[in-house]
Homo-oligomer: A and B are copies of this chain.
Amino acid sequence: MQVSETQWSTQEKEIAKAALKTAHNREIQSLINVIRERASGVATIDDVWHLNDFLSARRFDIDGKYDDRESESLFVLAKLTKDGWLAIEDLLGLEPTKLSKITALTRVL
């Protein structure tokens, strides 16, 4: 399956860009909700440092995941779909072959 040299039309680039933004917003909102819930339950110093470790890990993951380089788009969209931040409906407008590749990648990532 050839994925890294896939060609993207201007419209598809816009769809991919919008999907990344949608996924990012969803993931951040979810993270904020989790932080509020976890923080309200913090009772010991271990809880505090666990929250710190959790935030550092989420930051590392999120900082690396939203790669907007065209060559990475299929992988990024597939990973976000696999993780539940995107649905195939968010990607409608992409060529059917791209959607098939994204669906296939969600099974191997």
Contacts and interface: CB of A to CB of B under 8 A. Distances in A.
A45 to B, nearest CB: 5
A32 B56 contact: no
Nearest to A47: B32
Total identical chains: 2
A59 interface: yes
A42 B55 CA distance: 13
Interface range on chain A (Cβ under 8 Å from partner): 20 to 34
A35 B51 contact: yes
A4 interface: no
A88 interface: no
Interface in A47-73: 47-49, 51-52, 55-56, 58-59
Contact of A55 (B28, B52, B58): B52
Given A52-B52, A52-B55, A36 B32 contact: no
A42 B35 contact: yes
A69 B42 CA distance: 30
Given A36-B39, A48-B55, 6 more contacts: A31-B48, A32-B43, A35-B48, A36-B40, A38-B39, A52-B52
